[in-house]
Amino acid sequence: MARAAAAVAVLVVAFAAAAAAQESCNTELPGVLVGNYSGLNCQPVWNNFVLRYHQDKNNVLRVVLSTMYSTGWVGMGFSRDGLMVGSSAMVGWIGRKGLPHVKQFALRGKTSGKVVVNRGFLVSNSNNHDHTVVVQQARIYLAFQLQFSYRLTHQHIILAFGSSIPVNNKLTKHQDKTSFTFDFTTGKAFVDGSFPYGLRRAHGALNLFAWGVLMPIGAILARYFRRMDPLWFYLHVGVQFVAFIIGLAGVVAGVALYNKIQADIPAHRGLGIFILVLGILQILAFFLRPNTDSKYRKYWNWYHHWSGRLVLFFAAVNIVLGIHVGGGDNSWKIGYGFNLAIILLAVIGLEFMLRTRWSKDSEPTPTY
């Protein structure tokens, strides 16, 4: 019995020691980091690696990457396409003299000569003194701050570590590495290839085409082409109905996307719901349209016109917001900006022509 009790005690101690040797979000940050790196979100991401992070309203990203450590280096890379080549990485280590080192490396190839120190597309926030490495209780904490020109959402991340201390800022080959997509809005990590990029593109493309292209065209037909009666009416109704169906498909794609990634973007989601409700009311208004000689027709016209204008305005706002929070690249921004410019120029030109025609129609007939 005594031997059994002793064996159990040894196992308990072993398990306790193993648990203590694991890095987790419950581990307190070293005192030197409490201040610049307080109030961070925390998420275990790979093996013993824990990622603490926070992105403020100025798009400054504060990061503390921690893991178990004895010697060598640890690094966190930011990739534009999920590949190591072409990415930039923040790498930290404790030198042979016990001094901390944090450097940015441009990973231009897979050989050590292609890994270039003090190069890369990452921009440090204000000064490099905010970057540091701390080793405490066999754990290393790589802390740095980066300035981005946009809000990070789904970012390709590469984590790696090596067992040899870099000499003259030359990195040795990594002992192990991993890559994944990290959602900085929800704190979820996705194995590269598992994030629903196709669903996100479908949600954006369907809604942009429906609410940002077809809906404005339908409104233009109703305001500026009434001389083509009754063709303008059928075109207006047909275009708006098709736009609503496509927009509804985009909303369904958005709901499916939200269920997969649980993105915390209440403004975009709230505006989308508001626009959808207005769209449904517009569809119902078509079936409840009074006769032209009804005394209620003027109130229906007022409601129909202004609710339609609200749909177009808030749809444009939400498309821009969606491109922003979805991390859309320049092709999305330039494409929608060009589309918006064409629509605005067309409206200005058609409005000028309409008002010119009105002024001519209102002129008195000459008596001479």
Per-residue confidence at 234, pLDDT binned at 50, 70, 90? very high
121-144 average pLDDT score: 83
Does residue 194 register a pLDDT over 80?
Answer: no
40-64 average pLDDT score: 90
8-45: per-residue pLDDT in tens? 443 333 334 444 445 678 888 888 888 888 888 899 98
- For the chain, what percent of residues have pLDDT higher than 70? 88
- Is residue 324 a known part of a binding site? no
Q: For residues 296 and 294, give the distance between their C-alpha atoms in angstroms, rounded to a whole number.
A: 5
> What is the full DSSP assignment across 273-328?
HHHHHHHHHHHHHHHTPPPTTSTTHHHHHHHHHHHHHHHHHHHHHHHHHHHHHTT-
Q: For residues 82 and 87, give the distance between their C-alpha atoms in angstroms, rounded to a whole number.
A: 8
Per-residue confidence at 224, pLDDT binned at 50, 70, 90? very high
- Is residue 305 a known part of a binding site? no
- Is residue 304 a known part of a binding site? yes
Q: For residues 166 and 179, give the distance between their C-alpha atoms in angstroms, rounded to a whole number.
A: 22
Max mean pLDDT range (114-123, 160-169, 232-241): 232-241
Domains along the chain? 27-190 (2.60.40.1210), 196-361 (1.20.120.1770)
Residue 313: predicted pLDDT: 95
How far does the chain reach from its first CA to its final CA, in angstroms?
A: 127
285-339: per-residue pLDDT in tens? 888 888 888 888 888 889 999 999 999 999 999 999 998 877 677 888 899 999 9
262-271: per-residue pLDDT in tens? 666 788 999 9
> Taking a C-beta distance cutoff of 8 angstroms, is the pair 124, 147 a contact?
yes
- Is residue 203 a known part of a binding site? yes
Distance of alpha carbon 48 from its chain centroid, rounded? 27
